[in-house]
Structure 1
Amino acid sequence: MRKIKKIHKAVHAPMGDLVTYRALPTHEVDYIDPFLFLNHHGPQVYKPGNNGLPFGPHPHRGFETLTFILDGDIMHQDTGGGQDVIEAGGVQWMTAGSGLIHAEVSSEKFKKEGGPLEILQLWFNLPAKHKMAKPNYIGLQKTEIPVVSEDNGKVKVNVISGSWGDTKGPVPSLSNIHMASIELLAGGSLSTTIASDRNIFFYVVRGSIKVNGQTADKLNLVEFANDGEELSIEASEDSYILLGHAKPFNEPVVSHGPFVMNTEEEIHEAFRDYQAGKMGVWK
């Protein structure tokens, strides 16, 4: 079994009236190469006539984002041409690559009617060879994500990228990142193997589970060593987790606000290109 190095509690980091917990980075853990950042928004209930999510137009370069919509919705628009509304159970995967401007806000329907909201956004680094890749956006509704049933239906694995057994995820990852969200009913269990040279991303969104003999509750990020291959998970109550894995890039990470590059000069260049309109012009 993989050894657990440490279990980290996400820190409370509200954004105005948006309940937010940040699991990466914190004072305990900077990043788990190539997993850079995770914000967990909600759960909370918005009243009718609300302003919705606050993420208006802003630029990105050098990495990718994966957004999980558990409750509520997100209306996405970007200067690469991506535009849609993804509802509960769906995901959005955006490759910022060479750079774009995008906005992630609530739909007019959600702002008018209100309702429950819970959303998580995970950032993946891109290796130097893909930092300037062409931007791309993929939005998937719940029905477009393949589901693998385990433990007689007590466990459902939503496969997003990479594969789970013979089931391939619909998102082609530039860096062979495997990502899934996993729903477990109380008492449900799951075993899987992940090559020891791959770093694991493991976050408990809801509930409480035991993984490799240790208890991890909601808002816990589990950091693993690279010494074994087996993961054994059992749900103490109904639970929801994010599970990903990838080979580390072992490259310098230099980040400033919305840009993640390999050198300080590349960060300066990103700001110059953004100001020059090279990441598109917001309309």
Structure 2
Amino acid sequence: MRTIKALHQAQNAPIADLTTYRALPTSSVGHLDPFLFLNHHGPQVYPAHNQGLPFGPHPHRGFETVTFILAGDIMHQDSGGHQSVIEAGGIQWMTAGRGLIHSEISSDEFKRAGGPLEILQLWVNLPARLKMTEPNYIGIQEADIPAVALDEGRVTIHAVSGEWGGTVGAVRPLTDMSLATINFHQGGRLNLTIPAERTIFCYLIRGRLRINGQETRMRRLVEFNADGDEFQAEALTNDAVLLLGHATPFNEPIVSYGPFVMNSEAEIRQSYADYQAGKFGTWQE
């Protein structure tokens, strides 16, 4: 069984009126290669006639964003011409690659009616060979994400990417990255084999779990040592929800500044120059 190195508490980091907890990076952990960043927005309830999410047009280069909509919705638009509204249970997988501009705001209907909102956004790195790949966007509703029921229905894996219980996830990523959200009923048990050389990303969204023998609570990121290939989780409460992923680390230099993640300071400077020169596409309102 792989041993736990540390439990990291997500830190309160509100954005305007949006309740936000930053799980990565924090004062206790910088990144878990190739996982770079995780913001947990909500849960909260928006009133009717609200302003919605505050993420208007902004650029990215050199990595991917994976957004999990647990409640509410997100209206996506980018300079590559992609548009969609993804609702609760769905995901967005955006490859920034060589650069694009995008916005992530609430739909007109959500801003009119309000309601519950809870969203996670994970940033995952791209290796040097793919930093300048063509940008892409995939929006997938809940009905199109394969669900894998285990332990007599007490555990349900929503397979976003990779293979889970013999089922292939909805997204075929550029790198060998497995991601899923997992729902537990109390007493539900999950046993997985994850090779020791792969980085595990394990964030408890809700509830309490016993993970590899250690209890953890909501809004905690579990960091593992690279010393075993057995992963176990047991639900200590009903309605526990886990974000779980694993990937081979790139072991490359990581230089990030604002919305860009590259391998050197020179590449960051070039990213800003390219953005200012209009090389990230044209924004269309």
For normalisation by structure 2, the TM-score amounts to 0.99
Structure 2 gap segments, 5+ residues each: none
1:69 aligns to 2:69 (yes or no): yes
2:185 equivalent in structure 1: 185
CA distance in 2, matches of 1:124, 1:132: 15
Q: Could you give the per-residue CA deviations for residues 205-241 of structure 1, whole angstroms, max 9, x where no partner exists?
A: 0000000110110000000000000011000112000
CA distance in 1, matches of 2:165, 2:243: 17
CA distance in 2, matches of 1:58, 1:273: 14
1:274 equivalent in structure 2: 275
Alignment of 1:246-265 (within 5 A): 246-265=247-266
Alignment of 1:229-248 (within 5 A): 229-237=229-237, 238-248=239-249
Residue 165 of structure 1, CA deviation: 2.7
The one-letter amino acid paired with 1:109 is: E
The one-letter amino acid paired with 1:180 is: A
The one-letter amino acid paired with 2:109 is: K
Count residues in correspondence.
Answer: 283
Residue 140 of structure 1, CA deviation: 0.4
1:173 equivalent in structure 2: 173
CA distance in 1, matches of 2:275, 2:126: 19
SS of residue paired to 2:103: strand
Structure 1 gap segments, 5+ residues each: none
Q: Could you give the per-residue CA deviations for residues 168-227 of structure 1, whole angstroms, max 9, x where no partner exists?
A: 112111111100100001111111110011000000000000001101100000000000
Q: Could you give the per-residue CA deviations for residues 117-158 of structure 1, whole angstroms, max 9, x where no partner exists?
A: 000000000000000000000000000000000010010000
Q: Could you give the per-residue CA deviations for residues 36-64 of structure 1, whole angstroms, max 9, x where no partner exists?
A: 00000000000000000000000000000
CA distance in 2, matches of 1:82, 1:63: 18
The one-letter amino acid paired with 2:19 is: V
SS of residue paired to 1:30: coil
CA distance in 1, matches of 2:232, 2:270: 45
Structure 1 consecutive aligned stretches of length 4 or more whose deviation exceeds 3 Å: none
CA distance in 2, matches of 1:85, 1:166: 30
SS of residue paired to 2:275: helix
CA distance in 1, matches of 2:5, 2:181: 22
Residue 75 of structure 1, CA deviation: 0.1
CA distance in 2, matches of 1:222, 1:166: 25
2:49 equivalent in structure 1: 49
Q: Could you give the per-residue CA deviations for residues 71-90 of structure 1, whole angstroms, max 9, x where no partner exists?
A: 00000000112110000000
Q: Could you give the per-residue CA deviations for residues 2-23 of structure 1, whole angstroms, max 9, x where no partner exists?
A: 0000000000000111000000
SS of residue paired to 2:23: strand
1:13 equivalent in structure 2: 13
1:78 equivalent in structure 2: 78
Residue 281 of structure 1, CA deviation: 1.3
SS of residue paired to 2:137: strand
The one-letter amino acid paired with 1:279 is: F
CA distance in 1, matches of 2:81, 2:184: 36
1:198 equivalent in structure 2: 198
Give the root-mean-square deviation of aligned CA atoms.
0.5
For normalisation by structure 1, the TM-score amounts to 0.99
1:91 equivalent in structure 2: 91
1:147 equivalent in structure 2: 147
